[in-house]
């Protein structure tokens, strides 16, 4: 059966069945047909995957937790996807064995693709369906009229298996690889809306797969194509929980998303990887693509955090202030100064009108604004905000509270950067006294304060005093954090700089060698220090 058949959905049956669908055949583009989200959820997942059915290769039962690779193992007997079209004639080449999408009838199930899904076959079908269903809900779309071009169902997997190993990802066997990229780009342009699925949020498989990186780059650079980055609802909840608890996971993923390297990405088929990398290197080069994708992904994470804030913005209470401050700290940590400042200013407005000027959360917000100003180089502004925070904390919490130590520490940081080293030293010593009393002498925060005092003493030319402080910090960090912790390396580096200034680094001494290794390319001006 050829592509001009009267059948709206091409399944190899006779024309008597054309009345079963209201989709007009003349409007159909066979290579960009999509499966409705309604069908994916209620037919493919609930009836064809979740019913008692075993993987043809492993014998394990399939479920919503099964990956696409498990549902359709291309190196094993036909699974759910190939079985669907095994006895159907493909409308594209007239051969027996059709793509899943070409076996469907009715506009509730199949139609011209409205979206293309960019994803990994390692994702579970449950996560995919949940992501798409949530996307419909959030964007007020009809799941029966939202059609997804998803390669596992819309590429003819019978032909994929028939092809040699180098075509197993879906490349057209009879075409040169450069032709495939042109065809793929045309497909993206015609569909015009790509959904790039990230999961899990804290270690996205997506950015480790060369196909996925190529797809998101193509979508972003194709004129007229809209790109949305999406994730499963459960991942949104997990991300929000990380914000509430500490934000450490988000900081880690920010770093991951900022270090995408397509040249290190993998593919299940080596020739696919080589073809894609070759095309990228020819078109734009690795660095251009990496920078663009990194910016795109970091922007996505920023957008996700903004959504979390908007979802709570009508509360205007202490919990909302605390949440804004936590998001602001995360954004600052990752270089998003303007966004961080906006959130902290929002928090401050609520603090002043709802909680009062002398509330501890108001003090914390002043301190956070000070941290943003400090990071932006406005040290005088940072000093003023941290002094406000200190005054409130002394009044509300008392002189021995750890938050007071934090304010002393941050004031010390601003004074150091202004050049008032004596003033900085005095504030750091105030912080040290409180932390020693409250935390004990072996706490990592005490080590940090020793480190900061050491930096100031180094700047004042008291190398022996600086060395003593850094060695105290080293002993605590080795005991509390272990020898492989980054803060330990920082301390070795600082000791190395001080010893270098003292002319006291011997290559025969084992400790000196460790210091030299830790120093690496550090110069005197790169003496490291951390403020909390």
Contact call for residues 158 and 12 (beta carbons, < 8 A)? no
- Tell me, rounded to whole angstroms, the distance of Cα 341 from its chain centroid: 22
The strand pairing partners of 112, in sequence order, are 33
Q: Is the pLDDT of residue 424 over 60?
A: yes
> Which pair of structure tokens corresponds to residue 188?
């993206």
Average pLDDT, integer, range 147-160: 93
Give dist(CA 323, CA 317) in Å, integer: 10
Q: Which are the contacts of 502, defined by CB distance < 8 A and separation ≥ 6? A: 463, 464, 467
User: How would you classify residue 97: left for phi > 0, otherwise alpha for psi between -120 and 50, otherwise beta?
Assistant: left
Closest CA to 382 of 316, 427, 444: 427
Closest CA to 1 of 29, 10, 30: 10
Q: Is the pLDDT of residue 15 over 70?
A: no
> Which pair of structure tokens corresponds to residue 432?
């040290």
Q: Would you tell me which CATH number, out of the four given (1.25.40.10, 3.40.50.720, 3.40.190.10, 1.10.10.10), belongs to the domain 442-532?
A: 1.25.40.10
HSE on the CB side for 107, CA within 13 Å? 12
Burial degree of 257 (CB within 10 A; 0-12, 13-18, 19+): buried
Q: Higher-confidence residue: 20 or 296?
A: 296
Contact call for residues 463 and 452 (beta carbons, < 8 A)? no
Question: What sign for the dihedral angle of Cα 170, 172, 178, 181?
Answer: negative
Q: Higher-confidence residue: 456 or 11?
A: 456
The pTM score is: 0.76
Closest CA to 103 of 192, 13, 223: 13
User: For 54-79, what is each residue's pLDDT tens digit?
Assistant: 666 666 789 999 999 999 998 889 99
Helix, strand, coil % in the chain, rounded to nearest 5: 60, 5, 30
Q: Is the pLDDT of residue 21 over 50?
A: no
Q: Is the pLDDT of residue 529 over 50?
A: no
Phi (first) and psi of residue 7, to 5 degrees: -70, 130
Confidence band (pLDDT; 50, 70, 90) for 483? confident
Give dist(CA 343, CA 337) in Å, integer: 10
> Which pair of structure tokens corresponds to residue 258?
């900022």
Give dist(CA 95, CA 159) in Å, integer: 10
Q: Report, in angstroms and rounded to the nearest whole number, the Rg of the chain calculated over CA atoms.
A: 30
Tell me which residue has tokens 């043809």. 56
Tell me which residue has tokens 């002189």. 399
What does the pLDDT read at residue 176?
A: 38
Q: Higher-confidence residue: 372 or 500?
A: 372
Strands 147-149 and 33-36: antiparallel
Strands 110-112 and 193-197: unpaired
- pLDDT above 90 covers a percentage of the chain that reads 61
User: For 285-332, what is each residue's pLDDT tens digit?
Assistant: 999 999 999 889 888 888 888 888 988 887 778 889 999 999 999 899
Contact call for residues 111 and 33 (beta carbons, < 8 A)? yes
Q: Higher-confidence residue: 160 or 13?
A: 160
Closest CA to 311 of 329, 295, 323, 294: 323
Give dist(CA 104, CA 42) in Å, integer: 14
Whether the upstream peptide bond of residue 200 has omega within 30° of 0, thus cis, is yes
What does the pLDDT read at residue 186?
A: 78
Closest CA to 493 of 526, 519, 466, 459: 519
What does the pLDDT read at residue 1?
A: 31
Q: Is the pLDDT of residue 416 over 50?
A: yes
Average pLDDT in the chain: 85
What does the pLDDT read at residue 504?
A: 72
What does the pLDDT read at residue 384?
A: 98
In which residue ranges of the chain is CATH 1.25.40.10 found?
442-532
Contact call for residues 380 and 370 (beta carbons, < 8 A)? no
């Amino acid at each position: 059966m050829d592509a001009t058949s009267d059948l709206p959905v091409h399944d190899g049956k006779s024309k008597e069945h054309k009345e079963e669908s209201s989709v007009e055949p003349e409007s159909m583009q066979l290579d960009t047909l999509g499966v409705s989200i309604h069908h994916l959820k209620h037919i493919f997942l609930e009836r064809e995957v979740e019913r008692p059915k075993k993987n043809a290769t492993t014998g394990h039962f399939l479920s919503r937790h099964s990956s696409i690779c498990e549902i359709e193992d291309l190196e094993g007997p036909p699974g759910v996807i190939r079985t669907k079209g095994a006895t159907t004639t493909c409308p594209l080449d007239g051969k027996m064995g059709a793509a899943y999408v070409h076996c469907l009838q009715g506009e509730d199930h199949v139609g011209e693709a409205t979206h293309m899904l960019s994803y990994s076959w390692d994702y579970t079908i449950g996560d995919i369906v949940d992501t798409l269903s949530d996307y419909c809900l959030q964007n007020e779309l009809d799941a029966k009229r939202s059609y997804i071009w998803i390669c596992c169902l819309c590429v003819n997997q019978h032909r994929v298996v028939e092809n040699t190993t180098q075509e197993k990802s879906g490349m057209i066997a009879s075409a040169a690889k450069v032709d495939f990229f042109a065809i793929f780009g045309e497909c993206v342009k015609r569909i015009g809306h790509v959904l790039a699925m990230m999961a899990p949020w804290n270690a996205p498989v997506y950015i480790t797969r060369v196909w996925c990186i190529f797809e998101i780059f193509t979508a972003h650079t194709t004129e007229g194509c809209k790109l949305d980055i999406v994730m499963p609802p459960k991942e949104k909840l997990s991300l929000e929980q990380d914000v509430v608890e500490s934000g450490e996971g988000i900081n880690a993923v920010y770093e991951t998303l900022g270090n995408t390297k397509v040249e290190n990405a993998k593919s299940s088929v080596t020739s696919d990887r080589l073809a894609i990398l070759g095309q990228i290197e020819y078109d734009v080069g690795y660095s251009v693509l990496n920078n663009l994708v990194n910016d795109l992904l970091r922007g996505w994470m920023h957008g996700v955090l903004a959504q979390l804030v908007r979802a709570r913005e009508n509360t205007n209470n202490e919990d909302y202030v605390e949440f804004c401050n936590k998001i602001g700290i995360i954004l600052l940590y990752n270089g998003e100064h303007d966004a961080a400042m906006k959130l902290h200013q929002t928090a401050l407005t609520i603090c002043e009108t709802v909680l009062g000027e002398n509330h501890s959360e108001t003090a914390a917000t002043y301190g956070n604004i000070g941290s943003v100003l400090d990071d932006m180089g406005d040290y005088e502004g940072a000093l003023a905000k941290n002094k406000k925070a200190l005054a409130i904390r002394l009044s509300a919490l008392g002189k021995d509270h750890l938050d007071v130590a934090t304010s002393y520490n941050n004031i010390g940081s601003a004074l150091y950067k202004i050049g008032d080293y004596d003033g900085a030293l005095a504030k750091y010593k105030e912080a040290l006294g409180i932390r020693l009393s409250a935390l004990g002498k072996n706490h990592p925060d005490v080590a940090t304060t020793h480190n900061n005092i050491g930096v100031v003493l180094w700047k004042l030319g008291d190398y022996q005093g600086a060395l003593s402080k850094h060695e105290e910090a080293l002993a605590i960090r080795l005991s509390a954090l272990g020898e492989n912790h980054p803060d330990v390396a920082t301390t070795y580096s600082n000791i190395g700089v001080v010893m270098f200034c003292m002319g006291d680094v011997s290559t025969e001494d084992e400790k000196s060698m460790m210091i030299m290794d830790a120093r690496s390319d550090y110069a005197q001006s790169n003496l490291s220090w951390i403020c909390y």
